[in-house]
Structure 1
C-alpha cells in the first residue's frame, strides 16, 4: 500500500475520533504511525491530513495526544514553501525562459504552450484553497450535514478534495448568496443535503466528489438540475402528457353543456375521447372547462 493510501486510511479513522461520541483510545498509536510514514508535501496536499490531526488536537483531552499532534503539525509545516521564495523562484524562472526564447527565436506564446506540457516540477506550491472558517454554530452544523451526505457511501475514484473541504465550500457559496442564515439559506442547504443523500441519484454525489460539479455550481443548482436521469425522464414524460391533453381538449374538442365543471360549477365545457388503453376497454374522455380552464378526465 502506498503512503498516500495509508494516510487516507488513517484519516478516516481519525475523522471518526473527532466526532462528539468518537472513541479516542487508539489516537496516540495512530499518530505515532503517522510519524513513521514518509509523508511529503504532495501527500499533505492531497489528503489534507494536517487539518484532521489539528481537529483531533482540539477535540482531545489527552495531553500526550495533544503534544504528539502539535509535533506532527510542526514537522509538516516545514514542507510548505515560503511564499517569498516561490515568488523569487518564479521570477528567476521567467527570466531564464525569456533568455531561451530570444536565443531560439521563438515567441513567448509558443514557448508557454510547450513548457506547460513539459517537465516542470509537478509539486503544488500551495495547499488547495479552502473556505473561510466560521464560528457560527448553525453554519458549522450545516457544513457537518453536507460532509456527512458526501461521506454517506464509499468514495469513488478520482476524488478531488475531502468531503469536509467540499462541504465548507458549498456552504460558503450558499451563505455568500444570501448573506444570512434565515429561511432561504436553510431551504437551500436542506435541498443540497437531501439530493446528495438520495440513494436513487448517486451520480450527483460522485460528480461533486470528482470535481465534475464544483461546490459553487452545486450551491445554485435547481431541483430539476440535481435530479437523476430517471427523474428527469419521468418529469419530461408528465410534461408531454400534460401538453398533449391540453392540445387535444382545445384543438379537437367538442363543446357541450352536458358536463359540469367541478371547480366553478359551469356547464361550458369542451371534451374529446381517445383510446388510451386496450381496444376492449372503454375510451378515456378528456374535458376542459372553457370558463375557468379546469381539466379532468374520466372513463
Structure 2
C-alpha cells in the first residue's frame, strides 16, 4: 500500500535516529580501516594484502545490534514498497537524503538495501524527466491521477507542495498557513513557530513557490539557532523577531528578494546588524537628516535676553528669556519670543 507524506516523514525521522545511533560505530570502523590500510602499506603488502587487512578490520569492528538491524530493515522495506518516488516528493520529505545516510551502515544488509532503494528512486526520477515512467502520474498517496483528454504525455504529478506553490490569496496576505506549508521541521514548538514567522516575512508580497520559501525559512532558523541558540535564549528570540520585522517592512522589499535569491545566505542574514538590514535608501535618508541636524547645531544661535519685567502666565515667575524679531510691518512693534526659565513655557507677545 502506498504511503502518504506524513507516513513517509514519520518513517524518515525514525531512520534518522537510527543513522545517528550508528554514526559512532561507522566512525570507529572507518578509523580502523584507515589504520589497517596504513599498517599494510608500511609492511609492504600488495593490493590484495591491503584489501585483506581492511577486511579483517571490518570483521573486528562493532556491528549494529541484531534487534536494531531488524527494525531498520523493516522500515526500509516499508518505504521500498510504499513510496512512489517523484522529484517533488523526494524534495518535500527529504527521504532520499535520509536513506542515503544509511548506505555506510555497519550492517551490510542495511547498507545494501539502502543503496538499492536510492538507486531505484534515482532511476525513477530520471525516467519521469524523460517522460518514460508512469510513476510520475501518481500522487504521493499512490492514487493514479486521471489524464486530461486530448493529451498524449504522462500526467503531471500533484503533491501538497505543488498546491502550496500557487498562492490562493493576494500576495500581501500570504502566510505559511494560507500556503499550507509544513513548518514542523525540528519537532520543537518554539523553533518551528519561528520558522513560520520567517516564512511569513519572506512570502510577504512574493510570488515565489512555497517550497522555495520554506527551504529558505528553515535555513534561516537553523542558522540563527546555531549562532544564537538554544531557543530559550532571548538573543535567539529577539533576533528572529527583528529579522521578521525587517523582512516584512514595505520600505525595504529588496531585502526579501536578496534572501530568497540566495544573494544573502542564511548565515550572513542572521549576523547582519540593524543598520545592515536597512535599505541603501533608508541609510542615505538617515545620513541626510543627521547632517542637517549637525549643520543646524553648528549655526550660531541668537543671544537671548533675560527680563524680570515679563511674567510667565503658567507659573507666575519672572525668570523669562526673550528674543525680538520683526514679524509685522516695519512701523509696528517687534514681536517678543519668550521662554520661562522656571517651567519651560514658550509664548510670543
- TM-score for the superposition, normalised by structure 1: 0.42
Higher gyration radius (CA): 2
